[in-house]
């Protein structure tokens, strides 16, 4: 699974497994205007966000791997015979 998170720093992203869901949360601060700058439109949204994805039955919670590069968060969820009712913080490399 890949999620586009342009402009976010790694420390602004929280990734975890909660029960049988993969939860991605984060936030982006509003960009400060500088004196003399004129804006017609700012395309990038700001504020907090949260996404929740239901994982397939039989996923391997401790085996979930994630990497973040160039604004793209990639999460790999392997399948196994372990129980999906667990909570695990997923480290992002």
- CA–CA dist 68, 62 (Å, integer): 18
First-to-final CA distance of the chain: 15
Mean pLDDT of the chain: 83
pLDDT digits (tens, 9 = 90+) for 65-93: 999 999 999 999 998 755 555 677 788 88
- CA–CA dist 93, 77 (Å, integer): 15
Check residues 29 and 9 and name the one with the higher pLDDT.
9
CA triple 48-51-52, angle to 5 deg: 145
């Amino acid at each position: 699974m890949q999620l586009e998170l342009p402009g976010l720093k790694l420390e602004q992203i929280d990734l975890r497994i909660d029960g049988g869901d993969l939860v991605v949360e984060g936030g982006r601060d509003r960009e400060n205007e500088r004196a003399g700058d004129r804006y017609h439109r700012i395309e990038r949204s700001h504020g907090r966000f949260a996404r929740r994805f239901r994982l397939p039955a039989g996923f391997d919670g401790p085996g979930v791997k994630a990497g973040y590069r160039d604004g793209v968060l990639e999460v790999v969820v392997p399948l196994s015979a372990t129980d999906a009712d667990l909570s695990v913080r997923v480290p992002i490399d």
